Amino acid sequence: MNNFSAVSSLLDNDFYKFTMQNAVIKLFPFAKVKYKFINRGQHSFPKDFSKILRENLNKMAYLKLSNEERVFLEKNCPYLDSSYLNFLNKYQYNPKEVNIFQKGENIQMYIEGLWSNVILWEVPLMAIMSELYYKLTGADKKISEKKITNITKEKLEKYKKLKVKIGEYGTRRRFSYRVHKIVLKTLINEGDSFFIGSSNVHFSHIFSIKPIGTQGHEWIMFHASKYGFNIADRIAMENWLNIYRGKLGIALSDTYTSPIFFKNFNKKLSNLFKGVRHDSGDPISFAKETIKHYKKFNINPIKKKIIFSDNLNPYKVSCISSFCKKKISACFGIGTNFTNDIGFPSMNMVIKMVKALPEEGKKWISVVKLSNVKEKSTGKKNMIFSAKKILRI
């Protein structure tokens, strides 16, 4: 087990972590944050899990951006400028930023430090935890490449019939690195023109495809700690535009519920952003609301897009695409259903920002995510109550 290594490249991470890191360095270079591991699925972790996890984290300190990887980013992501790529060239994971505790079958984990440094931990950490969990419970010994390929092909056939655009978003809760690679290879070989890419930058490099993604909830959660709940969405979007000048123009819609997002998504932003991402709540209701919102500003919804990314499978995609047809462009980011659907229950866990220190010398502020569904909300109960009161939810 000591030879086990689930992450072997600095780029084995979701693309939006790098795009956010670039923006953080430029706008909030001295901000500090704290993240917490949340075991939503109440998984029981095997004995010595934290010890083996720690060994893996320590190995990550040796990961470096290769020249070949830098060239890939320069060619495929021109909006990541040379100052950021120079930063990434020197970047190293610091395992001291991660504190792990195991008591019986429970794991507690916190990550703390400069936001520009610790932002990259979340996704590879979860990928390691997921793979390690299946290895230590013996599940990984029973899977053949043929089985993984066939399961993926079966889904692809359904998506082909629906004629929908799909992307792969499944790094954080993948069954294993090996399964992820086989799934992606199948998607690329069999996906024809409707497979739009992967959020994983390392695999995008290996398979010579463009990585996909924009920003995550933490981007808006941090803005709430600095500017307040009411205008967090708007300032987060404006800052994003200032950094990327219209590139990576998909706005995330549910950090403080969609109604609050749409209040912030004014005419200027609605025009400048190419579309929105849906990540919680009823997708059809959200599509209706989005179409109504664009029409209010005399914007033709068919020229805009919604990227759906909430726990998707072929049935859900079928329902959503059927509704959106000829009304608004729809794309689908499919995660765990691609990378961890091989006969074992998938893990339900997240790592979320819980505190922020926007400026040195100020107090740490508890941050929350409200989401469109109660189960996906995160943060201290009193802060969630306070945020709902301020936002009149």
pLDDT for residue 31 is more than 90 = yes
CA 374 and chain centroid, separation:
19
The predicted structure's pLDDT at residue 113: 98
In the CATH scheme, what architecture does the domain 15-140+345-391 have? Alpha-Beta Barrel (3.20)
Segment 304-331 shows an average pLDDT of 97
Ramachandran bin of 283, using left for φ above 0, alpha for ψ from -120 to 50, beta for the remaining angles: alpha
pLDDT in tens, 52-70: 999 999 999 999 999 999 9
Of 359 and 54, more confident: 54
pLDDT for residue 1 is more than 80 = no
Sequence-distant (6+) residues with CB within 8 A of 298 are none
pLDDT for residue 177 is more than 60 = yes
The predicted structure's pLDDT at residue 193: 85
Every domain of the chain and the residues it spans: 15-140+345-391, 145-339
pLDDT in tens, 325-353: 999 999 999 999 999 999 899 999 999 99
Max distance between CA atoms of the chain, in angstroms, equals 60
Please choose, from the candidates 301, 211, 219, 215, the residue with its C-alpha nearest in 3D space to the C-alpha of residue 251: 215
In the structure, what pLDDT confidence band is assigned to residue 3 with cuts at 50, 70 and 90?
low
The predicted structure's pLDDT at residue 374: 86
C-alpha to C-alpha distance for 34 and 32, rounded to whole angstroms: 7
In the structure, what pLDDT confidence band is assigned to residue 6 with cuts at 50, 70 and 90?
confident
Q: What percentage of residues in the chain have a pLDDT greater than 70?
A: 98
C-alpha to C-alpha distance for 249 and 91, rounded to whole angstroms: 26
C-alpha to C-alpha distance for 231 and 237, rounded to whole angstroms: 10
The predicted structure's pLDDT at residue 340: 95
Q: Which CATH number does 145-339 carry?
A: 3.20.140.10
Q: Look over the chain and give the mean of its residue pLDDT values, rounded to a whole number.
A: 95
C-alpha to C-alpha distance for 275 and 279, rounded to whole angstroms: 13
Sequence-distant (6+) residues with CB within 8 A of 387 are 224, 229, 256, 368, 370, 379, 393
In the structure, what pLDDT confidence band is assigned to residue 16 with cuts at 50, 70 and 90?
very high
CA atoms within 13 A on the CB side of 115: 29
Segment 364-381 shows an average pLDDT of 92
pLDDT in tens, 212-250: 999 999 999 999 999 999 999 999 999 999 999 999 999
The DSSP letter of residue 383 is H
pLDDT for residue 298 is more than 90 = yes
pLDDT for residue 144 is more than 80 = yes
CA 380 and chain centroid, separation:
22
